[in-house]
Every structure is written in C-alpha cells, then in structure tokens.
C-alpha cells in the first residue's frame, strides 16, 4: 500500500532533519502543522545532496551526485522512488507545483562544490542563488499554498533571506570550509589577509539582505510567518555573535549558538509574534 510507504518516506525526511540540524528542526515546529512534512521533505533532499559533495570523500562524488540527480527527476516524473527521501521530495514537488528550474539550479550549485574552490563575483552570486535562494523559493511555494500572486510578490524577499542565511553560513564555517575542503566562497578575498575592515564589509552586505528578508516575513501568511521569523531570529543572533568577535576568531573556529540560548531566543520570538511586534 503506497500510502504507508509515503508515510515512512515522510518520517525518514523528518529523521534526517532532526539528525542534521537542531536549529532547523526547532524552526519547523513553529510552523503550522500542515507544513511540517513538506518542509522536512525539502530539507531531506537538500541535505542528502549536500552530504554527497561535502562528506563522501572516499567515494566517487561526481558519479553519486549524477545518480542522485537522475533519480530525483525520475521520482518526480513517476511519482515514486524507492529512495524514501526522494519519494517524499517528489510528493512535495508534485503537490505544490515546485518549478523544476529551482531544483536544477540547486543541483548545479552542488556540482560547483565538486571541484570549484574559489569564486569570482559572478560565481559567488550563482552559487548563492543555487545553494540558498532557490531553496527558499521551494519553501515559499509550500508556505503560500498555491497562491501564485503571493509567491510572485514574495519571491525577491525570500531570495534575500536565503542569501543572508547562506552568507552567514559562509562566515560561520570559514574555518571548516577553508582548512577542511580548501573552499573560499567570498570573492576576491584572501583569507590569510582577512582583516576587520573586510569582515565589516561582508557583515554590512548581509545586513542589507536581512532587512529585505524581514520585510517579506511580515507579508507571509500567519500560519507560516512565525516559523520563518524564528529562523530569522536565530541567524540574526548568529550574525550578532560573529560581529562581536575579532576577525581572527572566525578563522579559528566554527561559530555557533548553544542550544540553551536557542530555546530562549525562540521563546522571546514567540512573545514578539504573539504581541504582533514583528
């Protein structure tokens, strides 16, 4: 009975989300319940693709990603996959009419991670588009529940928010990306010469994306607004912490927020949301 298999697939995507991201898992809990499994499914798909290029060092990553890509499109076309993560993802794509070009753009960014170590301005822009902005648009398709007019209106704001999140990830993970995989995403920056002024410029660019993203959050339907706002608050706190640190610190360690602080942040966010203080 396929219905049972679909349930197992959705639960598999939830398990992947809970295993890989405490912050994202907590954020999903603040969405309307009907959005939980669709967003778990999108995250599971994105997470698996990212794992191929970031973690499977003893295997042929290029072949694995090509196979994953082919299986993704087969699953969407056929409406089923024996890979439970792809099975749950195809259901969301088909149910919410997620545009295939969003998926293609995301997978292209994963392909860039296979061999690209440094980025110029254009490559940086394209990578952020594929790795973050279109993922935000996939989620937006779910949040607006088929309202194309609202989707079109909120598209630039969702892209800005996704961009802000990704750029913060780049700053947070400078140490691991550079020393672990030799990657430098920020264009025209030599990390050995990173200074306070360059760090401040990067942070200012993120602030601009954040401000635009918050405008869009305020326009979201109420049943999805709070969950997205929680994610915004978490990344806002992460940026504040990065801003408070000397530029040398972000080259020496991965910056994070303790779980106890995350819970406190989410609680205060709920109060602001309840009082319509967004």
Q: What is the pLDDT of residue 266?
A: 60
Q: How many domains does the chain have?
A: 1
Q: Which domain holds residue 112?
A: 2-274
Residues 6+ apart with CB under 8 A from 115: none
DSSP single-letter state for residue 146: T
Residue percentage of the chain with pLDDT more than 70 = 91
User: What pLDDT does residue 90 have?
Assistant: 98
Alpha helices in the chain (DSSP H): 2-20, 22-29, 36-55, 61-78, 84-96, 100-115, 121-128, 134-143, 148-172, 174-175, 181, 196-219, 222-244, 259-274
3-state secondary structure of 86: helix
CA angle 16, 22, 28 (to 5 degrees): 80
Q: Taking residues 215-229, report their average pLDDT.
A: 92
Report CA-CA distances (Å) from 61 to 34, 44, 75, 105, 277.
35, 18, 21, 18, 46
Q: Note the pLDDT tens digit of each residue in 164-181.
A: 999 999 888 887 777 677
Q: What is the mean pLDDT of residues 185-207?
A: 84
* Higher-confidence position of 107 and 268: 107
CATH code of the domain covering residue 159:
1.10.600.10
**Farthest-apart Cα atoms in the chain, separation:** 60
pLDDT one-digit tens code per residue, 14-42 = 999 999 987 788 788 889 999 999 999 99
């Amino acid at each position: 009975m396929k219905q049972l298999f679909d349930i197992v697939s959705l639960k598999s995507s939830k398990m992947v989300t809970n295993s890989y991201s405490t912050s994202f898992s907590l954020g999903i809990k603040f969405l309307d319940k009907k959005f939980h499994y669709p967003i778990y499914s999108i995250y599971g798909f994105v997470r698996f693709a990212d794992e191929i290029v970031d973690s499977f060092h003893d295997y042929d990553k290029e072949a694995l990603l090509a196979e994953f890509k082919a299986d993704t499109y087969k699953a969407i076309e056929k409406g089923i996959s024996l890979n439970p993560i792809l099975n749950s993802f195809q259901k969301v794509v088909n149910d919410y009419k997620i545009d295939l070009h969003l998926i293609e753009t995301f997978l292209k960014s994963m392909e860039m991670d296979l061999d690209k170590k440094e980025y110029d301005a254009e490559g940086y822009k394209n990578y952020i588009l594929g790795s973050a902005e279109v993922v935000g648009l996939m989620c937006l398709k779910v949040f607006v529940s088929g309202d194309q007019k609202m989707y079109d209106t909120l598209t630039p704001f969702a892209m800005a928010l996704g961009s802000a999140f990704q750029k913060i990830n780049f700053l947070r993970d400078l140490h691991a990306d550079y020393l672990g995989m030799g990657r430098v995403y920020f264009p025209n920056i030599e990390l050995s010469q990173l200074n306070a002024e360059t760090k401040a410029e990067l942070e200012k660019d993120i602030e601009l994306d954040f401000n635009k993203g918050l405008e869009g959050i305020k326009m979201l339907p109420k049943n999805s607004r709070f969950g997205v706002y929680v994610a915004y608050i978490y990344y806002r706190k992460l940026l504040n912490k990065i801003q408070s640190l000397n530029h040398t610190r972000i080259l020496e360690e991965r910056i994070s927020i303790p779980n106890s602080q995350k819970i406190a942040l989410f609680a205060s966010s709920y109060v602001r949301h309840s009082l319509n203080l967004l």
